[in-house]
Protein backbone atom coordinates (compact mmCIF):
# COMPACT_ATOMS: atom_id res chain seq x y z
CA UNK A 1 0.00 0.00 0.00
CA UNK A 2 1.27 3.45 -0.89
CA UNK A 3 2.05 5.49 2.21
CA UNK A 4 1.70 9.21 2.72
CA UNK A 5 5.21 9.54 4.06
CA UNK A 6 6.23 12.30 6.47
CA UNK A 7 3.95 15.15 7.54
CA UNK A 8 5.64 17.64 5.24
CA UNK A 9 5.15 15.32 2.30
CA UNK A 10 1.45 14.75 2.90
CA UNK A 11 -1.11 16.03 0.38
CA UNK A 12 -2.19 19.64 0.80
CA UNK A 13 -5.75 18.47 1.39
CA UNK A 14 -4.71 17.28 4.84
CA UNK A 15 -3.55 20.74 5.74
CA UNK A 16 -6.26 22.91 4.18
CA UNK A 17 -9.84 22.88 2.99
CA UNK A 18 -10.26 21.49 -0.49
CA UNK A 19 -11.40 23.83 -3.22
CA UNK A 20 -14.73 23.25 -4.91
CA UNK A 21 -13.04 21.95 -8.05
CA UNK A 22 -10.91 19.51 -6.10
CA UNK A 23 -13.99 18.32 -4.24
CA UNK A 24 -15.63 17.27 -7.47
CA UNK A 25 -12.57 15.34 -8.57
CA UNK A 26 -11.82 13.76 -5.21
CA UNK A 27 -15.44 12.63 -4.83
CA UNK A 28 -14.89 10.34 -7.79
CA UNK A 29 -11.58 9.01 -6.53
CA UNK A 30 -11.72 8.98 -2.75
CA UNK A 31 -14.91 7.67 -1.22
CA UNK A 32 -16.16 4.73 0.71
CA UNK A 33 -17.13 3.23 -2.60
CA UNK A 34 -13.43 2.38 -3.07
CA UNK A 35 -12.22 -1.13 -3.71
CA UNK A 36 -10.81 -1.70 -0.22
CA UNK A 37 -12.01 -5.06 1.17
CA UNK A 38 -14.30 -5.49 4.16
CA UNK A 39 -12.32 -5.82 7.38
CA UNK A 40 -12.21 -8.96 9.47
CA UNK A 41 -12.90 -8.65 13.18
CA UNK A 42 -9.37 -9.65 14.13
CA UNK A 43 -5.80 -9.28 12.94
CA UNK A 44 -3.92 -6.13 11.97
CA UNK A 45 -5.92 -3.12 10.89
CA UNK A 46 -5.72 -2.22 7.21
CA UNK A 47 -7.41 -0.13 4.58
CA UNK A 48 -7.82 3.42 3.32
CA UNK A 49 -9.90 5.55 5.70
CA UNK A 50 -11.40 8.80 4.43
CA UNK A 51 -12.14 11.25 7.25
CA UNK A 52 -14.26 14.34 6.66
CA UNK A 53 -14.18 16.92 9.43
CA UNK A 54 -15.13 20.57 9.86
CA UNK A 55 -12.10 21.75 11.84
CA UNK A 56 -10.90 23.74 8.87
CA UNK A 57 -7.93 25.58 10.33
CA UNK A 58 -5.69 26.23 13.30
CA UNK A 59 -4.82 23.93 16.20
CA UNK A 60 -7.90 21.71 15.76
CA UNK A 61 -7.00 20.86 12.18
CA UNK A 62 -3.37 20.35 13.19
CA UNK A 63 -4.45 18.03 15.99
CA UNK A 64 -6.45 15.81 13.64
CA UNK A 65 -3.55 15.64 11.18
CA UNK A 66 -1.13 14.70 13.96
CA UNK A 67 -3.43 12.01 15.31
CA UNK A 68 -3.79 10.55 11.82
CA UNK A 69 0.00 10.43 11.51
CA UNK A 70 0.35 8.72 14.88
CA UNK A 71 -2.38 6.20 14.12
CA UNK A 72 -0.78 5.33 10.78
CA UNK A 73 2.59 4.89 12.47
CA UNK A 74 1.02 2.41 14.89
CA UNK A 75 -0.96 0.70 12.11
CA UNK A 76 1.25 0.69 9.00
CA UNK A 77 -1.40 -0.94 6.81
CA UNK A 78 -3.86 1.88 7.41
CA UNK A 79 -3.86 5.11 5.40
CA UNK A 80 -5.99 8.04 6.55
CA UNK A 81 -6.96 10.78 4.14
CA UNK A 82 -8.42 13.92 5.72
CA UNK A 83 -10.72 16.28 3.85
CA UNK A 84 -12.07 19.41 5.52
CA UNK A 85 -15.31 21.31 4.99
CA UNK A 86 -16.91 24.17 6.84
CA UNK A 87 -20.00 23.20 8.80
CA UNK A 88 -22.20 24.85 6.19
CA UNK A 89 -20.44 23.12 3.30
CA UNK A 90 -20.68 19.78 5.04
CA UNK A 91 -24.50 19.83 5.03
CA UNK A 92 -24.51 20.02 1.23
CA UNK A 93 -21.57 17.65 0.85
CA UNK A 94 -22.99 14.76 2.83
CA UNK A 95 -26.50 14.98 1.37
CA UNK A 96 -25.27 15.09 -2.24
CA UNK A 97 -22.55 12.55 -1.48
CA UNK A 98 -25.03 10.10 0.00
CA UNK A 99 -27.24 10.34 -3.06
CA UNK A 100 -24.21 9.65 -5.28
CA UNK A 101 -22.80 6.89 -3.07
CA UNK A 102 -19.73 9.00 -2.29
CA UNK A 103 -19.44 9.44 1.45
CA UNK A 104 -16.47 9.01 3.80
CA UNK A 105 -15.65 6.28 6.26
CA UNK A 106 -15.65 8.63 9.23
CA UNK A 107 -16.81 12.22 9.79
CA UNK A 108 -17.81 14.90 12.25
CA UNK A 109 -21.42 16.10 12.24
CA UNK A 110 -23.75 18.50 13.99
CA UNK A 111 -26.40 16.93 16.24
CA UNK A 112 -29.32 17.66 13.93
CA UNK A 113 -27.40 16.30 10.96
CA UNK A 114 -26.93 13.06 12.88
CA UNK A 115 -30.70 12.73 13.22
CA UNK A 116 -31.13 13.13 9.46
CA UNK A 117 -28.38 10.58 8.84
CA UNK A 118 -29.95 8.05 11.19
CA UNK A 119 -33.32 8.57 9.51
CA UNK A 120 -31.94 7.53 6.12
CA UNK A 121 -29.90 4.62 7.47
CA UNK A 122 -26.57 6.23 6.63
CA UNK A 123 -24.66 5.46 9.84
CA UNK A 124 -23.02 2.42 11.39
CA UNK A 125 -23.70 1.58 15.06
CA UNK A 126 -21.03 2.91 17.45
CA UNK A 127 -21.85 1.11 20.69
CA UNK A 128 -18.54 -0.75 20.48
CA UNK A 129 -16.59 2.52 20.26
CA UNK A 130 -18.57 4.13 23.08
CA UNK A 131 -18.07 1.10 25.30
CA UNK A 132 -14.38 1.10 24.43
CA UNK A 133 -13.99 4.72 25.51
CA UNK A 134 -16.25 4.16 28.52
CA UNK A 135 -20.00 4.61 28.22
CA UNK A 136 -20.38 6.02 31.72
CA UNK A 137 -17.91 8.79 30.87
CA UNK A 138 -20.35 10.34 28.36
CA UNK A 139 -23.36 12.39 29.38
CA UNK A 140 -26.51 10.35 28.90
CA UNK A 141 -28.27 13.23 27.13
CA UNK A 142 -25.42 13.57 24.63
CA UNK A 143 -25.59 9.87 23.74
CA UNK A 144 -29.38 9.96 23.52
CA UNK A 145 -29.24 12.58 20.76
CA UNK A 146 -27.47 10.07 18.52
CA UNK A 147 -29.39 6.93 19.46
CA UNK A 148 -32.39 5.14 17.98
CA UNK A 149 -34.09 2.00 19.26
CA UNK A 150 -31.36 1.55 21.85
CA UNK A 151 -28.50 1.71 19.32
CA UNK A 152 -25.92 4.53 19.39
CA UNK A 153 -24.86 6.02 16.06
CA UNK A 154 -22.66 8.92 17.19
CA UNK A 155 -19.91 9.63 19.71
CA UNK A 156 -19.84 13.25 20.96
CA UNK A 157 -16.33 14.66 20.75
CA UNK A 158 -17.02 17.93 22.59
CA UNK A 159 -19.91 19.98 23.93
CA UNK A 160 -20.83 23.62 24.24
CA UNK A 161 -23.90 25.65 25.15
CA UNK A 162 -25.34 28.99 24.13
CA UNK A 163 -25.13 31.80 26.69
CA UNK A 164 -25.44 35.59 26.67
CA UNK A 165 -22.15 37.43 26.11
CA UNK A 166 -21.82 41.07 27.05
CA UNK A 167 -19.27 43.89 27.17
CA UNK A 168 -18.53 44.65 30.80
CA UNK A 169 -16.88 47.98 29.97
CA UNK A 170 -19.88 49.29 28.00
CA UNK A 171 -22.34 48.32 30.71
CA UNK A 172 -20.17 49.88 33.40
CA UNK A 173 -19.73 53.14 31.47
CA UNK A 174 -23.50 53.39 30.97
CA UNK A 175 -24.29 52.47 34.56
CA UNK A 176 -26.26 49.38 33.47
CA UNK A 177 -26.64 46.05 35.22
CA UNK A 178 -26.26 42.72 33.45
CA UNK A 179 -29.72 41.96 31.98
CA UNK A 180 -31.70 39.18 33.62
CA UNK A 181 -34.89 39.37 31.52
CA UNK A 182 -35.73 39.91 27.87
CA UNK A 183 -37.12 43.35 28.75
CA UNK A 184 -33.87 44.18 30.55
CA UNK A 185 -31.90 43.12 27.49
CA UNK A 186 -34.03 45.21 25.14
CA UNK A 187 -33.64 48.32 27.31
CA UNK A 188 -29.86 47.87 27.65
CA UNK A 189 -29.35 47.07 23.96
CA UNK A 190 -31.31 50.15 22.91
CA UNK A 191 -29.30 52.31 25.33
CA UNK A 192 -26.01 50.99 23.95
CA UNK A 193 -26.87 51.42 20.27
CA UNK A 194 -25.05 54.44 18.84
CA UNK A 195 -25.50 55.16 15.15
CA UNK A 196 -23.64 52.85 12.79
CA UNK A 197 -20.58 52.35 15.00
CA UNK A 198 -22.01 50.45 17.97
CA UNK A 199 -25.04 48.19 18.11
CA UNK A 200 -26.72 46.86 21.21
CA UNK A 201 -27.44 43.44 19.71
CA UNK A 202 -27.37 42.15 16.16
CA UNK A 203 -30.36 39.99 15.14
CA UNK A 204 -29.33 37.53 12.38
CA UNK A 205 -31.88 36.25 9.87
CA UNK A 206 -29.79 34.78 7.02
CA UNK A 207 -31.55 31.93 5.24
CA UNK A 208 -28.33 29.93 4.79
CA UNK A 209 -28.02 29.33 8.52
CA UNK A 210 -30.07 28.50 11.60
CA UNK A 211 -29.65 31.74 13.53
CA UNK A 212 -33.25 32.92 13.29
CA UNK A 213 -34.45 29.58 14.63
CA UNK A 214 -31.80 29.73 17.35
CA UNK A 215 -32.82 33.16 18.63
CA UNK A 216 -36.55 32.32 18.56
CA UNK A 217 -35.85 29.03 20.32
CA UNK A 218 -34.15 30.91 23.19
CA UNK A 219 -37.30 32.93 23.78
CA UNK A 220 -39.53 29.88 23.60
CA UNK A 221 -37.31 27.93 25.99
CA UNK A 222 -37.63 30.76 28.51
CA UNK A 223 -41.41 30.35 28.26
CA UNK A 224 -41.23 26.61 28.82
CA UNK A 225 -41.89 25.79 25.14
CA UNK A 226 -39.82 24.93 22.09
CA UNK A 227 -40.07 25.14 18.31
CA UNK A 228 -41.96 21.83 18.40
CA UNK A 229 -45.14 21.24 20.36
CA UNK A 230 -45.88 18.14 22.44
CA UNK A 231 -47.07 16.27 19.33
CA UNK A 232 -43.92 17.07 17.35
CA UNK A 233 -45.56 19.69 15.15
CA UNK A 234 -44.02 23.10 14.46
CA UNK A 235 -44.79 25.66 17.15
CA UNK A 236 -44.76 29.15 15.66
CA UNK A 237 -48.27 30.36 16.44
CA UNK A 238 -48.60 29.89 20.20
CA UNK A 239 -48.86 33.07 22.24
CA UNK A 240 -45.25 32.64 23.38
CA UNK A 241 -44.03 32.04 19.83
CA UNK A 242 -45.82 35.11 18.48
CA UNK A 243 -44.46 37.19 21.34
CA UNK A 244 -40.96 35.90 20.61
CA UNK A 245 -41.20 36.63 16.89
CA UNK A 246 -42.39 40.16 17.62
CA UNK A 247 -39.60 40.62 20.16
CA UNK A 248 -36.89 39.79 17.63
CA UNK A 249 -38.52 41.87 14.89
CA UNK A 250 -38.54 44.85 17.24
CA UNK A 251 -34.94 44.24 18.30
CA UNK A 252 -33.87 44.07 14.67
CA UNK A 253 -35.43 47.47 14.07
CA UNK A 254 -34.02 49.11 17.22
CA UNK A 255 -30.62 47.59 18.00
CA UNK A 256 -29.30 45.74 14.95
CA UNK A 257 -27.40 46.65 11.76
CA UNK A 258 -29.69 46.57 8.74
CA UNK A 259 -27.50 43.99 7.02
CA UNK A 260 -28.05 41.41 9.75
CA UNK A 261 -31.19 40.35 7.90
CA UNK A 262 -28.78 38.23 5.83
CA UNK A 263 -26.25 37.30 8.55
CA UNK A 264 -25.08 33.77 9.22
CA UNK A 265 -23.34 32.65 12.39
CA UNK A 266 -19.89 33.90 11.33
CA UNK A 267 -21.19 37.32 10.29
CA UNK A 268 -22.97 37.60 13.61
CA UNK A 269 -19.98 36.55 15.70
CA UNK A 270 -17.55 38.78 13.83
CA UNK A 271 -19.39 41.91 14.96
CA UNK A 272 -18.87 40.93 18.59
CA UNK A 273 -15.23 39.98 17.94
CA UNK A 274 -14.67 43.44 16.48
CA UNK A 275 -16.26 45.16 19.45
CA UNK A 276 -19.23 46.48 17.45
CA UNK A 277 -21.99 44.83 19.49
CA UNK A 278 -22.59 45.08 23.22
CA UNK A 279 -24.44 41.75 23.50
CA UNK A 280 -24.44 38.48 21.61
CA UNK A 281 -25.48 34.87 22.04
CA UNK A 282 -22.93 32.16 21.48
CA UNK A 283 -20.78 29.55 23.19
CA UNK A 284 -17.28 29.74 24.65
CA UNK A 285 -15.90 30.06 21.13
CA UNK A 286 -16.43 33.79 21.63
CA UNK A 287 -13.37 33.84 23.90
CA UNK A 288 -10.95 32.76 21.18
CA UNK A 289 -12.80 34.87 18.61
CA UNK A 290 -12.32 38.05 20.60
CA UNK A 291 -8.72 37.18 21.53
CA UNK A 292 -7.85 36.54 17.90
CA UNK A 293 -9.58 39.65 16.53
CA UNK A 294 -9.54 42.29 19.29
CA UNK A 295 -7.23 41.07 22.06
CA UNK A 296 -7.54 44.42 23.84
CA UNK A 297 -11.15 43.48 24.63
CA UNK A 298 -10.42 40.11 26.23
CA UNK A 299 -10.84 41.47 29.75
CA UNK A 300 -14.05 43.28 28.78
CA UNK A 301 -16.19 40.27 27.83
CA UNK A 302 -18.16 37.98 30.10
CA UNK A 303 -20.95 35.42 29.89
CA UNK A 304 -24.25 35.26 31.75
CA UNK A 305 -27.25 32.92 31.60
CA UNK A 306 -29.79 33.49 28.85
CA UNK A 307 -32.47 36.11 29.62
CA UNK A 308 -35.71 34.98 31.27
CA UNK A 309 -39.27 36.18 30.85
CA UNK A 310 -39.55 37.50 34.41
CA UNK A 311 -37.03 38.25 37.12
CA UNK A 312 -36.86 35.28 39.42
CA UNK A 313 -37.68 32.72 36.74
CA UNK A 314 -35.31 29.75 36.89
CA UNK A 315 -32.19 29.70 34.75
CA UNK A 316 -32.66 27.43 31.73
CA UNK A 317 -30.55 26.09 28.90
CA UNK A 318 -31.52 27.42 25.49
CA UNK A 319 -29.38 25.18 23.30
CA UNK A 320 -26.64 22.65 23.87
CA UNK A 321 -24.56 21.24 21.03
CA UNK A 322 -22.84 17.90 21.45
CA UNK A 323 -20.62 17.83 18.37
CA UNK A 324 -20.63 14.31 16.99
CA UNK A 325 -18.34 11.89 15.24
CA UNK A 326 -19.89 9.16 13.10
CA UNK A 327 -18.88 6.14 11.01
CA UNK A 328 -20.75 5.65 7.76
CA UNK A 329 -22.66 2.45 7.06
CA UNK A 330 -21.33 2.21 3.50
CA UNK A 331 -17.72 2.27 4.69
CA UNK A 332 -15.78 -0.87 3.67
CA UNK A 333 -13.28 -0.04 6.43
CA UNK A 334 -15.49 0.33 9.47
CA UNK A 335 -13.11 -1.54 11.76
CA UNK A 336 -10.18 0.79 11.01
CA UNK A 337 -12.42 3.88 11.09
CA UNK A 338 -13.82 2.92 14.49
CA UNK A 339 -10.35 2.17 15.84
CA UNK A 340 -9.15 5.63 14.76
CA UNK A 341 -12.22 7.25 16.30
CA UNK A 342 -11.55 5.56 19.65
CA UNK A 343 -7.88 6.59 19.31
CA UNK A 344 -8.96 10.26 19.36
CA UNK A 345 -10.23 9.91 22.94
CA UNK A 346 -6.93 9.04 24.61
CA UNK A 347 -6.80 11.29 27.67
CA UNK A 348 -3.58 13.21 27.08
CA UNK A 349 -4.24 13.77 23.39
CA UNK A 350 -7.91 14.55 23.92
CA UNK A 351 -7.02 17.26 26.44
CA UNK A 352 -4.69 18.83 23.90
CA UNK A 353 -7.57 18.84 21.42
CA UNK A 354 -9.85 20.62 23.91
CA UNK A 355 -7.12 23.17 24.65
CA UNK A 356 -7.07 24.09 20.95
CA UNK A 357 -10.13 26.23 21.73
CA UNK A 358 -10.22 26.50 25.53
CA UNK A 359 -13.69 27.29 26.80
CA UNK A 360 -15.15 26.75 23.35
CA UNK A 361 -14.82 22.98 23.36
CA UNK A 362 -15.93 21.53 26.67
CA UNK A 363 -15.18 17.86 27.42
CA UNK A 364 -17.78 15.31 26.41
CA UNK A 365 -16.16 12.99 28.96
CA UNK A 366 -17.12 13.81 32.55
CA UNK A 367 -13.86 12.75 34.13
CA UNK A 368 -11.81 14.92 31.76
CA UNK A 369 -13.73 17.98 32.98
CA UNK A 370 -12.16 17.39 36.40
CA UNK A 371 -8.74 16.32 35.13
CA UNK A 372 -5.93 18.51 36.53
CA UNK A 373 -4.16 18.57 33.17
CA UNK A 374 -7.31 19.85 31.47
CA UNK A 375 -7.88 22.54 34.10
CA UNK A 376 -4.25 23.68 33.91
CA UNK A 377 -4.87 26.16 31.11
CA UNK A 378 -4.41 29.93 31.31
CA UNK A 379 -7.45 30.79 29.20
CA UNK A 380 -9.74 28.51 31.20
CA UNK A 381 -8.43 30.05 34.38
CA UNK A 382 -8.75 33.69 33.18
CA UNK A 383 -12.34 33.11 32.07
CA UNK A 384 -13.30 30.68 34.80
CA UNK A 385 -16.55 32.46 35.69
CA UNK A 386 -17.79 32.56 32.09
CA UNK A 387 -16.73 28.97 31.42
CA UNK A 388 -18.65 27.91 34.52
CA UNK A 389 -21.79 29.63 33.18
CA UNK A 390 -21.45 27.61 29.98
CA UNK A 391 -20.64 24.39 31.83
CA UNK A 392 -23.74 24.81 33.99
CA UNK A 393 -25.88 25.36 30.89
CA UNK A 394 -24.71 22.24 29.01
CA UNK A 395 -26.85 19.66 30.86
CA UNK A 396 -29.92 21.92 30.90
CA UNK A 397 -30.76 21.69 27.20
CA UNK A 398 -30.34 19.86 23.90
CA UNK A 399 -29.87 20.70 20.25
CA UNK A 400 -32.78 22.65 18.73
CA UNK A 401 -35.90 20.52 18.47
CA UNK A 402 -34.46 17.55 20.33
CA UNK A 403 -36.03 18.12 23.74
CA UNK A 404 -37.85 14.78 23.42
CA UNK A 405 -35.04 12.91 21.70
CA UNK A 406 -33.62 12.57 18.17
CA UNK A 407 -36.55 13.66 15.99
CA UNK A 408 -36.44 14.03 12.22
CA UNK A 409 -38.15 17.40 12.63
CA UNK A 410 -35.07 18.74 14.42
CA UNK A 411 -32.92 18.51 11.31
CA UNK A 412 -35.59 20.15 9.18
CA UNK A 413 -36.00 23.03 11.63
CA UNK A 414 -32.35 24.00 11.28
CA UNK A 415 -31.50 23.10 7.69
CA UNK A 416 -34.37 24.44 5.56
CA UNK A 417 -34.32 28.14 6.51
CA UNK A 418 -38.08 28.29 7.02
CA UNK A 419 -37.94 30.28 10.26
CA UNK A 420 -35.38 32.63 8.76
CA UNK A 421 -37.52 33.20 5.65
CA UNK A 422 -40.44 33.97 7.96
CA UNK A 423 -38.43 36.70 9.67
CA UNK A 424 -37.34 38.12 6.32
CA UNK A 425 -40.94 38.20 5.09
CA UNK A 426 -41.88 40.24 8.14
CA UNK A 427 -39.04 42.77 8.10
CA UNK A 428 -38.51 43.09 4.34
CA UNK A 429 -41.96 42.51 2.91
CA UNK A 430 -44.13 43.84 5.72
CA UNK A 431 -46.06 40.58 6.17
CA UNK A 432 -47.94 40.66 9.50
CA UNK A 433 -46.36 38.55 12.22
CA UNK A 434 -49.33 36.22 12.71
CA UNK A 435 -49.72 35.65 8.95
CA UNK A 436 -46.01 34.94 8.41
CA UNK A 437 -45.89 32.66 11.45
CA UNK A 438 -48.88 30.62 10.28
CA UNK A 439 -47.41 30.21 6.79
CA UNK A 440 -44.05 29.11 8.17
CA UNK A 441 -45.69 26.71 10.62
CA UNK A 442 -47.73 25.14 7.82
CA UNK A 443 -44.66 24.80 5.61
CA UNK A 444 -42.63 23.12 8.35
CA UNK A 445 -45.41 20.66 9.09
CA UNK A 446 -45.65 19.82 5.39
CA UNK A 447 -41.89 19.19 5.32
CA UNK A 448 -42.19 16.97 8.38
CA UNK A 449 -44.86 14.85 6.72
CA UNK A 450 -42.83 14.66 3.50
CA UNK A 451 -39.94 13.31 5.57
CA UNK A 452 -42.13 10.49 6.85
CA UNK A 453 -43.33 11.96 10.15
CA UNK A 454 -46.81 10.76 11.07
CA UNK A 455 -48.93 12.98 13.30
Per cent of the chain over pLDDT 90 is 83
Contact residues for 195 (Cβ-Cβ < 8 A; gap 6+): none
In a domain, 410, yes or no: no
| 131 and 221 inside one domain | no
pLDDT in tens, 282-328: 999 999 999 999 999 999 999 999 999 999 999 999 999 999 999 99
Let me know if residue 104 belongs to a domain: yes
pLDDT score for 40 = 55
Residue 406 falls inside a structural domain: no
Torsions phi, psi for 228 (to 5 deg)? -120, 140
194 near 350, Cβ under 8 Å? Answer: no
- Whole-model pTM? 0.87
pLDDT of 283 reads 97
pLDDT tops 90 at residue 4:
no
Find the domain containing 140 and state its range: 7-160+321-395
- Is 56 domain-assigned? yes
Specify whether 241 is located in the same domain as 129: no
1 located within any domain: no
Same domain, 224 and 357: no
Is 187 found in the same domain as 69?
no
Q: Is 166 helix (H, G, I), strand (E, B) or coil?
A: strand
Q: Are residues 339 and 425 in the same domain?
A: no
* 403: in domain: no
Answer yes or no: is pLDDT of 262 > 60.
yes
Put residue 448 in one of left, alpha, beta given phi > 0 → left and psi -120 to 50 → alpha: alpha
Which pLDDT does position 449 carry in this prediction? 97
Q: Indicate if 281 and 358 belong to the same structural domain.
A: no
In the chain, the number of structural domains is 2
Which CATH number does the domain housing residue 18 bear?
Answer: 3.40.190.10
> Domain check: are 375 and 333 in the same one?
yes
pLDDT at residue 24, as a whole number:
32
Q: Which helix (H) or strand (E) holds 82?
A: strand 78-84
**What is the average per-residue pLDDT within 108-115?**
92
409-442 tens-digit pLDDT = 998 999 899 999 999 999 999 999 999 999 999 9
3-state SS record for 234-265: ECCCCHHHHHHHHHHHHHHHHHCCHHHHHCCH
Comparing CA positions, the residue from 37, 50, 27 lying closest to residue 105 is 50
Do 300 and 441 belong to one domain? yes
Chain-wide mean pLDDT for the chain? 90
Helix (H) or strand (E) holding 68, with range, is helix 58-74
125 and 18: one domain?
A: yes
Judge if 182 and 276 occupy the same domain.
Answer: yes
Do 148 and 177 share a structural domain? no
Does residue 339 belong to any structural domain of this protein?
A: yes
Asked, for residue 328, whether it belongs to a domain, the answer is: yes
Q: Where are the beta strands (DSSP E) in 293-357?
A: 301-304, 320-327
Q: Are residues 190 and 290 in the same domain?
A: yes
Amino acid sequence: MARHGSWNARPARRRAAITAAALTASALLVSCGSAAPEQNDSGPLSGDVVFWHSFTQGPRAEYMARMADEFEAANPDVSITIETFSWGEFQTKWTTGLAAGQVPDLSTALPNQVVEMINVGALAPLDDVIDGVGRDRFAEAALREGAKDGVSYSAPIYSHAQVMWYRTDLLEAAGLDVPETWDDLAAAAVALTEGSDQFGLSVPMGTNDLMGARFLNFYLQSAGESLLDDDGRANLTSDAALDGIQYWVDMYAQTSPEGSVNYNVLDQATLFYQGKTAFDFNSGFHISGVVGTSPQLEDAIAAAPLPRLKAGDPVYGGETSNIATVVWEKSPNQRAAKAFLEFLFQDEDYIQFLHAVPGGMLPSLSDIAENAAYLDNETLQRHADSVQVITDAVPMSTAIGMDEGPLVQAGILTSQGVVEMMFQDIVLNGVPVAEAAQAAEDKLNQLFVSAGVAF
